[in-house]
Structure 1
Amino acid sequence: MKKHLIVFTLLFVLILGACNSDTTNKKDKKTTSEPDQQSETFTYESEAGPIEVPSNPQRVIVLSTYAGDVMALDVNLVGVDSWSKMNPRFDEYLSNTVEVSDESLEQIIELEPDLIIGLSTINNIDKLSKIAPTVTYTYGKLDYLSQHLEIAKLLNKEEKAQTWIDDFKKRTHAAGEEIKAKIGKDATVSVIENFDKQLYVFGDNWGRGTEIIYQEMKLEMPEKVKEMALSDGYYALSLEVLPEFAGDYMIFSKSSDTDNSFTETDTYKNIPAVKNNQVYEVNAKEFYFNDPITLDFQLEYLKENFLGK
């Protein structure tokens, strides 16, 4: 009963807090340029400005996109977004982690986070900031590896992140050379997905293995994909024009709970990549993201399917 009263009181304060400035947050702040393991907090330079964060966070909530980055750095998560929670690749990491959203303020209070992370588009940032330091990022403002390093900076894990990045780049570049030697340096690869009754093709920075295929392995993108999807990261298209976007090889990010009957049509079956058995289907829920856990999985999948190992 006492716990529920405390939660209710905190929520009431959050709702009224929008009327107040954050002047109290400006008092007696310790300002440091780098995290200090001896100190409980340090000042992190976020997109929205400097913010005091824990030097060694123990109860982190991720409200969008970056759960895999936090898990890869061995930092404890107490709450994550629904997309991360439904990812079977994350099951072993999130068995005791609660699904939350930017609207579930009472639930977030009960989880007692010491740090909240999310995209800059999440709701209730002001209210969340009163529960715990809240740091947001604009998707695509940094490239995917720089984004991981930036999150590592926030979590005081830069060295661990940089070690993984250096090793990952070596592995992807080596695999890319092998794949090009096997399929030909001019062979094209496209990445497609069927989501909510709409077909999409992806550029070089929208998860689903695109960063590895195009940025690291330097595999060729079909000209039509370059024209329509490279700028925005993705492009919605109809089945009728899919053959124009299909590469010599296709990665098909497929969800079992979506209608995939288009694969039974003559239009799809007559695509050369389909006729040549050069379409590699992946579980969309496992392939969405571009964090280290997902990227390592994507790399092994691509090596297995393109190289047979």
Structure 2
Amino acid sequence: MLSHLIIRCVKALFHQFVYELLQQLYRQGIEPLKPDLVAQAVAYIREHSSRSLTLESIAEELECSAGHLSRLFKNKMHTSPIHYLGQVRTDRAVQLLMQTDATLQEIAESVGYPDAHSLSRSFKKYKGVSPVRFKKERQHHFGKQDQDMPQTMLKYALQQTPLTRYTDIDYQYQYNAEGDLFMHGRVKITAMMIMLCLSLMLGACSAPTNTNGSSQTETNHTTTSSNEDGQATVQAKTRIVSTLKGDVEVPANPKRVASDQYMGHLLKLGIIPIGVRSFMLNEAWIDKSGYPKEKLAGIKDLGEFPMNLEKLTVLQPDLIIGSIEKNIDSYQKVGTTVFLPYWEGESTAGPLDKFRRISEIFGKQKEAEQWITEYEKKVAEARKKIDGIVKDGETVSIVQVANKSVYVLAAEGGNYGSPTIYQMLKLPPTKKALNMKEGFESISLEVLPEYTGDHIFVYGSEDEGASQVLNSELWKGLPAVKKGQVYMYGSFSEKGDEFVMEDPYSLELQLDTIVNILLAHKK
């Protein structure tokens, strides 16, 4: 009985304390702290990232409109909720790739993707390379990790709950040993009451000095633009470049360019970067194109996404090109940065459009158009060579077989050679390929006949799991297969080839490869 009286007394004193505190704050003109909707969204996305989430479902869970949530999220996190969801899933996939021997399909299902191909497309969008290539390069740089993982790693290897702690600049969420959020259920209500009081008191004390954000921004701008020693002449003349993150003032003639993508594009424009991402230095086109190796010798390896900021700072670039939005803020602390995404949603811009976009950054549109004109002449000659192989009224489909799955590439917005086959050589796509909204479509083997044309290009025929598709009775029964009108090319796995990238050098090699394959069948 006495304990109940004490509890009631404490509650009464606590309520009186909160009331008095709120009254004092009200008299001082200080507004009470409101729940942070963005923080709740971040926590919810991280906790449920392995589920099927949409902007609407997240907003419904947080009891707000999708538009309102999207606006607040972009203002504070500088990205959309769905883009952030993809980032969380990709980071989780990286852990599983490096810490387990799980297949891509198992990892995909664990982190929230329906299949391995969807994971690979999203992974490449965020990391710039396929999951298999990413794992191979990491093992090459750091050595193969010991498979005898600690018990905690083994326990979480293929569970859906995020393993690592997450710390963001604005939001910090600590996970306990079982992966549950600290603020949960009734504990969440109690914690919120305590945090409310503490936040209000701290807010009252710190309100007059809430200017750190703007001064830091000003300092960063000063640091970025004060890099003038020995470069004053170059920096004096600038141009304005329009990007998806707004207009950017860039040097008119940058001399020290660093880039996490587009090395082939830069080299074709006569620009030798001072530093690039590791993968760029080992692209498949380099050996096949005959590009002089000595010209690449001085290019520094800046690691994977994001490029190593310490190494980047030492190089003192006067222009940085970034292809992944989440890395742009970090790059901007080092120097002037232009954001140019390689992937846009699940598709890519046309390869010639990409080259034009790069040329605009450097004011080299004339050089770009000169190469495009020459390339289009080669394309016209190639069309004459293969004329008649695909007869009038016949259609062409591109099938990708990987990880025991089947994918069909779209007539527009795809890659892995689809622009060369469809846009350049003008080989007629099927109606299914024309009507795909994204760059590809994942299908079951049973419906494959609905997607295949009179001629089939097969990407990744020698990759793992491809034989199960290509040796199936359904595949052997396709009209194109029976007629021998199937053309094997490329590799989706770690082997890599000239079809992975879409720079001018790769496009030239792709054109030759496809034409030679078709001519070989013609004989």
- TM-score (norm: length of structure 2): 0.48
How does 1:281-296 map onto structure 2 within 5 Å? 281-284=488-491, 285=496, 286-296=498-508
Instruction: Report the structure, 1 or 2, having the larger helix content.
Output: 2
The answer to whether the 8 Å contact 1:249/1:273 transfers is: yes
Instruction: Report the structure, 1 or 2, having the larger strand content.
Output: 1
Which of 452, 458, 478 in structure 2 is aligned with 1:271? 478
CA distance in 2, matches of 1:180, 1:22: 61
CA distance in 2, matches of 1:185, 1:97: 50
The answer to whether the 8 Å contact 2:350/2:419 transfers is: no
The C-alpha deviation readout for 1:224-245, integer Å capped at 9, x for no partner, is: 2223x3x212111122222322
Partner of 2:253: helix, strand, or coil? coil
CA 268–240 in structure 1, closer or farther in 2 if over 3 Å, else same: same
Which of 288, 292, 300 in structure 1 is aligned with 2:512? 300
1:185 Cα deviation after fit: 2.6
Query: What is the aligned partner in structure 2 of residue 226 from structure 1?
Result: 434
Identity %: 31
How does 1:57-206 map onto structure 2 within 5 Å? 57-64=254-261, 66-81=262-277, 84-91=280-287, 96-98=299-301, 99-102=303-306, 104-119=308-323, 121-138=324-341, 139=343, 143-203=350-410, 204-206=412-414
CA 97–283 in structure 1, closer or farther in 2 if over 3 Å, else same: farther
The answer to whether the 8 Å contact 2:396/2:427 transfers is: yes
CA distance in 2, matches of 1:18, 1:272: 65
CA 282–47 in structure 1, closer or farther in 2 if over 3 Å, else same: same
Query: What is the aligned partner in structure 2 of residue 52 from structure 1?
Result: 249
1:163 Cα deviation after fit: 0.4
Matched, 1:213 2:421: yes
CA distance in 1, matches of 2:319, 2:505: 21
1:131 Cα deviation after fit: 1.0
CA 147–18 in structure 1, closer or farther in 2 if over 3 Å, else same: farther
1:22 Cα deviation after fit: 4.7
Identify which range, 139-148 or 68-77, moves more after superposition: 139-148
1:221 Cα deviation after fit: 0.8
Q: Which amino acid letter does the alignment assign opposite residue 300 of structure 1?
A: D
CA distance in 2, matches of 1:132, 1:143: 29
The C-alpha deviation readout for 1:240-277, integer Å capped at 9, x for no partner, is: 22232222222222175533222222222332333333
Kindly name which structure, 1 or 2, has the bigger radius of gyration based on alpha carbons: 2
CA distance in 2, matches of 1:219, 1:157: 31
Partner of 2:428: helix, strand, or coil? coil
1:81 Cα deviation after fit: 4.1
- TM-score (norm: length of structure 1): 0.77
CA distance in 1, matches of 2:317, 2:402: 33
Which segments of 5 or more consecutive residues in structure 1 lack a partner in the other structure?
Answer: 1-14, 30-35
Q: Which amino acid letter does the alignment assign opposite residue 284 of structure 2?
A: P
The answer to whether the 8 Å contact 1:100/1:107 transfers is: no
CA distance in 2, matches of 1:127, 1:90: 29
RMSD: 3.5
1:82 Cα deviation after fit: 5.6
Query: What is the aligned partner in structure 1 of residue 458 from structure 2?
Result: 252
The answer to whether the 8 Å contact 1:191/1:208 transfers is: no
